[in-house]
Amino acid sequence: MDVVLLGSGNVATHLGRALIASGHRIAQVYSRSLAGAKALADALGVAATDNLQAIATGADLYVISVTDGAIGDVASSLPPVTGIVVHTAGSIPMDALSGHAAHFGVLYPVQTFSKAVAVDFSSLPLAVEASDEATLTQLEALAASLSSRVFRCDSNQRLSLHVAAVFACNFVNHCYAIGDAILARHGLDFDLIRPLILETAAKVMAHRPDAVQTGPAVRNDTDTMRRHLALLADCPGLAQLYGTLSERIRPTP
């Protein structure tokens, strides 16, 4: 497919690379900032623009990978195009594109992206949704050229996937950060719990998390929880969070 990338952030960068690696052609990179557009366009060896009215109108696919709040603006400012217009956001309904293109949809990669870390798209879950069956078939074919794990997912399911990801990724990382802060306060290094963190993630690759829950709360070990709360006595917010999460984990009698 001939693809125009609208956006130059993490998702646009990784998706652009994956599209080229799978034999697609990036026609152009647009970004509100010309410097951002150029940085990505140069890396991909294609043309850059910061003018939406100057984008190629004959491409097969327009991928809007901008911040959630700007998706509607970019879509409504597009010149008339015949290709499919998609966004890549987890929590924005597909209908944000409705009225701005004849054929539209969503291509949502379920992963956390950093610019510096390479991402293997070949086994990455890719959620697709489209305005009509023919568009869906085209998007599925495109997605299948990138990954072996393509699945259909409506906007509300995609939102639930995004919320699940916030718990299992963003909030998990914050729990790591709390661990780091507690260790630092006691003169210990975060490195001491890195093997534990990796093993905890590795365990749920083959098991459901509920089946492998460990720790004092699931054992209802009130003595240990009391000792832990005593250590957190001078951090009321952490003590309260410890209590809330332990109460959720504790088996109901």
Q: Does 108 bind a second copy (CB under 8 A)?
A: no
Task: Please give the structure tokens belonging to residue 226.
Answer: 């009391």
d(CA 135, CA 38): 30
The secondary structure of the chain in percent helix, strand, coil, rounded to multiples of 5, reads 55, 15, 35
d(CA 158, CA 149): 15
d(CA 194, CA 75): 43
Q: Does 185 bind a second copy (CB under 8 A)?
A: yes
Nearer residue to a second copy within complex by CB, 61 or 94: 94
Among 17, 144, 193, 243, binds a second copy (CB under 8 A): 193
Taking CB under 8 A as the binding criterion, the range among 32-40, 50-58, 78-86, 150-158 that sits at the site for a second copy is: 150-158
Among 20, 100, 125, 243, binds a second copy (CB under 8 A): 125
3-state secondary structure of 239: helix
Q: Does 21 bind a second copy (CB under 8 A)?
A: no
Residues 157-176 that bind a second copy (CB under 8 A): 157, 159-176
Q: Output the smallest distance, CB 126 to a second copy, in A.
A: 10
The label of the residue with tokens 């990138």 reads 146
